[in-house]
Structure formats: structure tokens, C-alpha cells
Amino acid sequence: MSHTSDTHDQPLSSGIGRRRFLNSAAVLGAAGVGLVACKEDRTAGGGAASAAGGKAASGADAARGNVGGAGSVDIKPGQLDTHYGIWSSGHTGDVRVLGIPSGRELLRIPCFVPDALIGWGITNESKAVMGTNPDGSLKYHVGDTHHVHGSYKDGVYDGKYVWINDKINARLARIRLDYMVCDKITKLPNVQGFHGIFPDKRDPVDPKINYTTRVFCGQEFHVPLPNNGKNTNDPKQYHCLFTCVDSNSMKVKWQARIDGNCDLVATSYDGKLAATNQYNTENGVHYQEMMAAERDACLFFHIERIEAAVKAGKTTTLGDSKVPVVDCTVDANKDPKTALCVRVSVPKNPHGVNASPDGKYFICSGKLSPTCTVIELQKVLDWFDGKLASPDKAIVAEPEVGLGPLHTTFDGRGNAYTTLFLDSQICKWNIDKAIKKYAGDKTINPIVDKIDVMYQPGHISATHGETRAADGVWMAVGNKFSKDRFLPVGPMHPENDQLLDITGDKMILAHDNAVRPEPHDFILFKRDVLHTKQVYDINEFPLATKDPKDTGLKREGHKVTVRMTSQAPTYNPAEFNVKVGDELTIILTNIDKVEDLTHGFAIPEYNIQFLVNPGETKSVTFKIDKPGVFWYYCTNFCHALHLEMRGRMLVEG
Ligand code: K7E
Ligand code: CUA
Ligand code: CA
């Protein structure tokens, strides 16, 4: 297999090295020994997993009855998965990293909500990313992540970032994939119910910019703009905003005021169009009103024109926000030649809009209609050029797929796979056949296959499905109900993420995977897309203490700073003195450079616990409010003398 460690610039597994490190450290009772062992046997426990895709299953595997061309989902002890999956985890508010095909959860990356393991929301650095009140307390403690998408270059993942939304508090988070940490969170002004996101795939004008520079964000819940308590019952004041965030600075570039709402978001491969499906074109407040119209819409934004309007100052602002807002309401955009946006109609209350990997189509799933609507992007551009009589002429197919279509993914071979929430099925259908049928050949049946899933599926995503490199190997489905699939654990069942092999004509259900509620969206890609780092570059941290002799206490009035290092199994300093009434800041640098040698730092009675990875620096600030001896100690097993890794904070009475 090709996926051995020498194809990566970083080690794939250090289980053996780590074990040897602990053993030799135990014998010698000293820090920093046995480290050479870490460099050997990288591949002993590594090697590739069963199959990277496209390889025929062995006879023995096939006999198990659930193995197709994608290979076995059995990852033997010591073997590594072939793919990463990045999962949005819903109202637990974080991001999860899974190994695919095993479904093993490898990491949770906190962003919007505090995390007790790594001390997210406790350290000063994480609080600065999350956002605080003037008194230093966290602004928000809850989050609801729905959609996660990666950065693109040339229409494929470049492995740099993923972005994820918080629906509750209208925030967009960015995760750096090298260290797998959240490095920025942006609050969208004047937005409620921030739902769909999608990064752009290239610049609409400059061909040299063939990578992601913007992230588009849709608002699902319309509110009076500005939302200041006036006009709460005047429907004409209710609008939604479609927001563009600069993917690099994470600053909000512009917003577009629209009629109706935004649900999910898609972007075109040429960078020219972004779109959102709308289920509430009625501007209804109750669900009965939101279901009144026979057809809703997919709303297309002409990015180049919008940005020209922003540049020309054809904008307003809302409330305290300085972000320029363009007018994308229906009445202001009737003339195709100048329109910033256009609605293509879609049957009643659609859900999900997905871009096909050939770059030609956006597909809206019907939800209340048993259909998917295929919209040809070139025709939408033709409408903007005044060459298409009506925007609905851009619809090229509307296949009947089954009951409750929600989300669609692709295999790169011309097929679409749509979740059917009500039928508890996946429908595999052929896009070209659906187009031919819509064009008049009624003998054609675009439906290729259907398979039961358990139960009530929402999101669906195939390996590289929303990129030009869609390879049709594995496909994950997030089921909203698991009922009888797992041991009962009281009233709340886990969710059921299922993995299907889609290499053949027929889909094969390969694996059930219980997950903590409630995942929504996810992306799956080959593991060589990522090159994560296991040891921090100490220079990433301006506050780092690089040498133990620079540690110690500095006092300025009641403000006390303790610079500290950790090196297994010691902290330096091992004790320090402070007084009641002091405001203490501890800046801890882990100067161990050994992969996997993470230390913790906890101190009793002050709600403090956080981790420092090799080379990492973190700080905490708190007020000393009681006298006594307080042992700070290492929470993360690091050494044979891990339990001895502790020190004293002495507060005179
Ligand atoms: Cu269908 Cu918020 Cu993506 Cu969930 S939405 S499933
Ligand atoms: Cu350091 Cu445990
Ligand atoms: Ca509607």
C-alpha cells in the first residue's frame, strides 16, 4: 500500500515510541530519556487500512456480505484509517474528527462552547478567540453547529481550514487543520439563525485566485432590520441577510438584504455564483404560513456584481454595524442586466442545495416535495446576461426521488445520492438521465438504486463528494433516529452514522456507528489531504518561555505574573508565593518536544484545568481570594512520575 509514513512528512503513529518512552523513563526516573525510541518503528503499527478504495474486496471479506469495491470497514488493531471525516456535532457545539471507514472518533475540536479536557474557555487564549464580556467572562456558553466545509484550491480540498457555523449565536468559526484547533470566531452582525455556510472555490474575477477567499453565510430566521424592539409586528421590516466573510482575516466583507430566508448555501466552481435555498419565500412567521406557497426558491447571488456595488458605495448600514449592506430584495433586482441576485423557483419548502462535482448544476432537495430540482448554472449566468427569458428556464430536471428529500451528494460518475427523511432511504439517481427525462423522454428512469437506512437520514456526504475529486468510494449518512440499532441507554438514543460502499451499481450498507447527538453535516476525504503537526512551533506563541531559567514570578502592585515551564515530570517553578487580593496570571510553556507528551495544569478551588501540548504556551488569569496551600498538578498522564508532577501555590494567611 502506498500510505506508509514515508509518504507523509509527519509520523502516522507513535504508539510504540510512546510506550517505550514511558518504560525507559520509569527505569531511569528522569525526564527527556528514551526519546530516540520515538523515531523508530513508525510504521510498525501503521501501514494502511484495508483498502483505499477502488480495490476489489478479498474473498473472505466478500463472504461477510457487506463488502464491495471500497473494501472492508474492519480496521485491524494497529492499522490506520484511509480517510478523515470532519463532523459537525450539533448542539454539543464542537467539531469532531473521525477515522473512516472505521468510524472511530479521533478528536473533538472545541470552538463555540467550553471544553473541560483542553481547557477551552478557561485559558486566556481560548477566551480571546471565543469572545468575552467586559468583565472577562465568556459571552456565550452554548453553540449549535450544523455545517462544516473545507478550504479549496483548484476545486479540491487544500487541507488548510474548515469553517463551521453556530446557529444559536450567529458565529462562524475557523479550524486550522495543521494543529486541529479553532483559531478565529466571527460574529455576524444583525443575524439570527445562521444556518448554511459554504466557502467559495475561486475568485469570480481574478483567475489567479483559484482558492478560497470568502465564506458565504445564510440567515434562516428573518427579523426586523435593525432588530431593536421597534416594528416587531410589521412584516415589511422583516428580512434576512446573506453574509460574506473574508476567509483570511475572518472579517465580514458585506451583507445582502433579501426577502424570504436562507437555508443552506452552495458555491459554484467558477466562483461566479453562490446560492441559498429558501423555504420561507412567504416571509411567514408560523409554519402554516411558511408552507403556503406551492413553490419556494433557490436564490442565486452574482458575486462580481455585488462586490462592484459594494465598491461603488451602493450600500447602507444597519444599526451599530459598519458592514456595507447591498439590496438583494426581489423588487430591487428585476432587470437581469443589473440584478445582483435572482430567484429560481423550487417546489414547496426545499432543503439543501448541493453543487455537482462537474461544476454544472446546483441541486435542491424537495423536503415537502418528493423531487429534486436540478438547476443549470450556465443558464443562470445566461439570465444575468439577458439571454434567458425567465429564471425558471434554468431548471433542467425535477426527478421524483421519494419522500422527504433533504441532502444530496455525488460519486463523480454522474450519480447523485439523496437522503429521504420520510422513507428512511437513500435514493441513487443519475443526473443525465433525469435531465433527458425532463426534456421529454418519458421512457427513461433516472432512479438507479434505493437502500434502507436506519432511520430518518439528514445529511449525506461521499468521499470528496463536494469537490472536483469526488471518487465515489465511501458515503456517510447521518441518521436522526437509531431506535433499535444499539443497546438502549435510557430515553436518549445515540444517533446512527452509517457508512455505505458506493463503488458498485448497488449501494452496500457497511457499518453502523453510534454517535453522540447530534451530528448534522460532515466531509470525508483521503488522509493524505492533511499534514497535521504533532509538536508546536514554540515561536507561534509570543508569551512562550523558551528557557527554564527565564521562569519565575514578577509582581506589579496586585498584578502577579508567574512564567512557568513544564518538562516531564516537573514544573518550573515548583512553588511560588502570592497574597490574597492578587490577580494572578500563570503563563505555562510546555518545553517538552516529544510527540504526544502533553501536560495538564489544574489548581484546586479555582476552576482551572487545561492542557499544554509539546511546544505550546497557554495562560490563565484569576483572583486569589483565600489563604492556604494549593497544589497545582499535571492532569494528563505524561510520565512514570506523572503523579509526582506537581507544585505549590502558597498563599499566606
Ligand atoms: Cu439538514 Cu442544519 Cu444541514 Cu441538519 S440541516 S440534517
Ligand atoms: Cu505532566 Cu502528567
Ligand atoms: Ca414555503
Q: Which tens digits make up the pLDDT trace of 96-140? A: 999 999 999 999 999 999 999 999 999 999 999 999 999 999 999
CB under 6 Å to ligand 2: residues?
A: 568, 599, 634, 636-639, 642, 645
CA separation for the pair 44, 47 (Å, rounded): 7
Q: What are phi and psi of 57, to 5 degrees?
A: -70, 150
- What is the b/e burial string over 327-351, where b = at least 16 CB atoms within 10 angstroms of the residue's CB? bbebeebeebeebbbbbbbbbbbbb
Give the pairing type, strands 214-219 and 105-110: unpaired
Q: Which long-range CB contacts under 8 A does 476-480 form with residues at least 24 apart?
A: 476/85, 476/100, 476/500, 476/522, 476/524, 477/419, 477/426, 477/453, 478/519, 478/520, 478/521, 478/522, 479/424, 479/453, 479/454, 479/455, 480/421, 480/455, 480/456, 480/518
Q: Of the bound ligands, which one is closest to the alpha carbon of residue 284?
A: 3
Looking at residue 153, its pLDDT comes to: 98
| Ligand located closest to 345 CA | 3
pLDDT at 58 over 70: no
Query: Which residue minimizes the CA distance to atom 1 of ligand 1?
Result: 458
| pLDDT at residue 16 in the model | 38
Nearest 5°: the CA angle 185, 187, 192 is: 135
pLDDT band at residue 12 under the 50/70/90 scheme = very low
CB 418, CB 470: distance < 8 Å: no
Q: Which three cell numbers stand for residue 259?
A: 426577502
pLDDT (average), residues 276-291: 95
Averaged pLDDT for residues 189-208 = 98
Question: Would you state the pLDDT for residue 231?
Answer: 87
pLDDT of residue 53: 39
Q: Are 454 and 139 in contact (CB under 8 A)?
A: no
Q: Determine the Cα–Cα distance for residues 516 and 485; give it in Å rounded to an integer.
A: 14
What spacing in Å lies between the alpha carbon of 16 and ligand 2's midpoint? Answer: 19
At residue 66, the pLDDT reads 57
Ligand 1 centroid distance, CA of 225 (Å): 26
Please say whether the dihedral angle defined by the alpha carbons of residues 409, 161, 195 and 453, taken in this order, is positive or negative: positive
Residue 158 neighbours by CB under 8 Å, 6+ apart:
150, 151, 152, 211, 212, 529
Pocket test residue of 418, 496, 518, 521 for ligand 1, highest count of atoms within 8 A of CB = 521
3 vs 647: which has the higher pLDDT: 647
Atom from ligand 1 closest to the CA of residue 406: 1
Place of cell 423555504: 279
Ligand 1 environment, Cβ below 6 A: 146-147, 195, 351, 406-407, 458-459, 520-521
Dihedral class, residue 391 (left if φ above 0, else alpha if ψ from -120 to 50, else beta): alpha
Q: How confident is the model at residue 59 (pLDDT cuts 50, 70, 90)?
A: very low
Residue 10 scores a pLDDT above 70? no
pLDDT of residue 607: 97
Ligand 2 centroid to 545 CA: how many Å? 18
Cα–ligand 1 centroid distance for 74 (angstroms)? 29
Res 653: pLDDT: 85
**Across all residues in the chain, what is the average pLDDT?**
91
Q: What per-residue confidence (pLDDT) applies to 68? A: 87
| pLDDT bracket for residue 30 (50, 70, 90) | very low
Measured from the Cα of 264, ligand 1's closest atom is 3
Residue 17 Cα to ligand 1 midpoint, Å, equals 42
* CA of residue 276 to ligand 3 center, whole Å: 14
Q: Which ligand is nearest to the CA of 566?
A: 2
Q: What is the mean pLDDT of residues 42-61?
A: 37
21/136: higher pLDDT = 136
Strands 617-623 and 583-590: antiparallel
| For ligand 2, atom 1: residue with the closest CA | 599
Give mean pLDDT, residues 363-372. 97
- The pLDDT of residue 28 is 38
pLDDT digits (tens, 9 = 90+) for 205-260: 999 999 999 999 999 999 999 999 998 999 889 999 999 999 999 999 999 999 99
What is the 469 CA–ligand 1 centroid distance (Å)?
24
Q: Which cell goes with 112?
A: 463555540
Mutate to test the pocket of ligand 1, among 144, 166, 365, 406 (most ligand atoms within 8 A of CB): 406
Residue type, 134: P
CA of 146 to the centre of ligand 1 (A): 6
Over 90: is that where the pLDDT of 19 sits? Answer: no
Q: Which ligand is nearest to the CA of 351?
A: 1
What residue's CA is closest to ligand 1, atom 6? 458
How far apart, in whole angstroms, are the C-alpha atoms of residue 298 and residue 348? 11
**Who wins on pLDDT, 464 or 37?**
464
Q: What pLDDT, in 10s, does the model give residues 577-623?
A: 999 999 999 999 999 999 999 999 999 999 999 999 999 999 999 99
Cα separation, 597 vs 568, whole angstroms: 8
Q: Give percent above pLDDT 90 in the chain.
A: 88
How close is the Cα of 520 to the center of ligand 1, in Å?
A: 5
